[in-house]
Structures are given as structure tokens and as C-alpha cells.
Homo-oligomer: A and B are copies of this chain.
Amino acid sequence: MTTEKIRNMEEFAAAIGLSRPTVSKFFNDPDSVKKSTRQHIEAALKTYDYRPNIYAMNQNRKLTKNVGIVVPYLADPFFAEIARNIEERCIDAGYRPTLYSSHGEPDLEVEILDSLRSLKPAGVLLAPLGRASDRSFIEKFCEDIPTVLFDSHLQDLGIAFVGSDNQQFSKLIVDYLCRSGEPPSFFEMANPSNPNANRRRQAYLDAMADLGQEADVVSVPGDGWAFEEIGYLGGLQALGADRFKTRTVLCSNDRLAIGFLAACFEKGLSVGHKAGCEIRVAGQDDHPFSRFTCPPLTTIAQNYDAISSYAMQTLFAAIEDKVTSDDIKLFEGKLVMRASA
């Protein structure tokens, strides 16, 4: 065990009797060296625990294997889940993902993108803050670095956008609710930063019009990312003031619905579609926790897998082929019927 600490590739190469360029070639593609030397290196790797410095590697490379993932709010399990999904796919594809959260703050989003440049990423998957984002800044960023947007669409930015078909989401759930009972009121926060919220409201209005029903939108105050609390407080207020025209409430998203359910509980309203229940509640997203609410939340499931998978594919295609296919891919949601509506 002459385990003198190996400090760099030079020392490692010397220790195993090879030249540095050969070792370098090996790390960039193990098959680019002769099989015997490859095995030699691989064996030596277990004796001397040496690893090339990733950041030094990337410094002078024309194309790195880095991928930046930026989400607006990581404490939201939806983004945590989708980030996890994307990270795994990146790793499997041989890339090195680095995850960032804007924590709901536009300044931080800018800061992240700025420092992301130092990483020289091959590409970036960005779920922007939405309305609060510094559009012109992101625009510049997208010009320099292949960027696929997801979740939140910023018109004409990035090489592609991958998200959910909010039109279809709201249409689907409105149809279901109307078919199975009373037409729904729509519950939302007044100033959503995420543009999806606006599309969902509009889709609700359209769907209701299609069915010849009278729409009823209840907007409650609140901004930021504490959706459960907004849904809870707003729900208490709206229920107390009897603002809903119907006893069926479609929430703009699941987190709002979770807060609204808590408000219903506090008001002593029994939620569900069964006989004896006083109010039906539905959400949109199929949030990881929606299965475990009381009652379990009826919702429209985002296709996590499809979104992250397609976003990755698009990005990799762009990286490898330098295609700038400015397309928009929207995935449909699936109705998930549970006890709440």
C-alpha cells in the first residue's frame, strides 16, 4: 500500500506508468484506449482512489457534460419530484446535473443563471418563476446557452417548451364535474405568478361556456408560494362570506386545494361526492400528497414522467445536433378520481 495521495492526473498517470494524455483520453472515453490499458487503468483506479476534478475538466472543453436544472420553488414537492426525475435521467444519460432553486425570488433567479454561465453547461432545463421573471435577462441567457423551458411558458424563449396542456386539464375536470353533479365554481389566488393559473382560469371559463353553464370565479388574495395557506385562509373567508355559487369547487391547483380542504374541515363541511357530503372539491396537478388528503383529492394528473423525459430528450437533441427546433410540447392530463369529488 504505497498510498501516497494522488493529487492530480499527472501523478496518477505517473504512478501507473502511463502518460497523462492517455489517461485523459480514457476518462473522456474509456473505449478510446486499448483494451489492455483500459483494464490497467480501471484496476489502478481501485488502488489509488483518484478522480479527475470535474471543474478543471470542464474549463477547457468545447462541450461539457453539465446540465443546469433551475426550478422556481424547491420546497414545493411538485418541483422537488420533477427535479428528482430529471436529475436521474441526466445521470443515466451520462450528464452531470446541478440543481438550483430560485426560492420564488426574481433576483435569485437572475443570480443563478448568471453563475450558471461559469459552469459552462451543455444545456439548461429551466422552470422560470413566471410573471416575476426578468424576461429580457432570460432571453439573453437563452441566446447563449441551449435552454429548454418547462412548467411555465415564456413566449418565444428557449429552444423549446415542455409542459402541460392547461386547456385540456381544466376542460377535462370541468366536464367530469358537470357530468357527475353540480357545475363547479373556480377557486384561485388573485395574483398568481405562474402563467398556468391564468390559462386554467380561461380554460374553466371556456369549458363552462361550452356546456352552457354559468361560470363563477372566486379569487382570493395572496401572493408568493405559500399556496396551502392562501387556499386555507382564502377558503375560510370565501366560505364564510358564502361567495361560492355552487357546492362544487374546482381549485386552480392541488396545493390550493389542500389548503381549501383544511378550510372546509374547519368549517365542518364534509367533503366528497358520496351521499351526505356537503361539498365537492377538486384540484389540478396530482400533487404527490394529494393521494393522502382527507378525503383523497380528485384531480388532473400532470404527466411528470413524460414532461421530464421529453424535456431531456429535446435538450439532448439540441445539444448533440445543434437543432434549434422552437417547438412547444404540451402533455395531456389524466383524470384521477378520488373521494373528494
Which residues of A are interface residues toward B (Cβ below 8 A)? 51, 53-56, 58-59, 74-77, 80-81, 83-84, 87-88, 96, 98-101, 103, 114-115, 117-119, 228-229, 232, 258-259, 261-262, 264-265, 288-289, 291-296
Task: Please tell me if the beta carbons of A258 and B53 are within 8 angstroms of each other in the complex.
Answer: no
A136 to chain B, nearest CB (A): 12
Q: Please give, as numbers and ranges, the residues of chain B lying within 8 Å of A87 by CB-CB distance.
A: 101, 103
Name the prevailing secondary structure of the A interface residues: helix
Question: Known contacts A98-B98, A292-B228, A292-B259; is A51 also within 8 Å of B118 by CB?
Answer: yes
**Closest chain B residue to A5, Cβ basis:** B144
Q: Please give, as numbers and ranges, the residues of chain B lying within 8 Å of A96 by CB-CB distance.
A: 115
Q: How far is the CA of A76 from the CA of B84 in the complex (A)?
A: 11
| Copies per complex of this chain | 2
A262 to chain B, nearest CB (A): 4
Task: Please tell me if the beta carbons of A292 and B261 are within 8 angstroms of each other in the complex.
Answer: yes
Q: How far is the CA of A283 from the CA of B59 in the complex (A)?
A: 49
Q: Please give, as numbers and ranges, the residues of chain B lying within 8 Å of A100 by CB-CB distance.
A: 99
Q: CB within 8 A of A56: which of B118, B294, B295?
A: B118
Q: Please give, as numbers and ranges, the residues of chain B lying within 8 Å of A259 by CB-CB distance.
A: 292
Q: CB within 8 A of A103: which of B75, B88, B118, B292?
A: B88
A79 to chain B, nearest CB (A): 9
Task: Please tell me if the beta carbons of A103 and B74 are within 8 angstroms of each other in the complex.
Answer: no
A100 to chain B, nearest CB (A): 8
Q: Please give, as numbers and ranges, the residues of chain B lying within 8 Å of A261 by CB-CB distance.
A: 292, 294
Question: Known contacts A262-B291, A265-B294; is A84 also within 8 Å of B55 by CB?
Answer: no
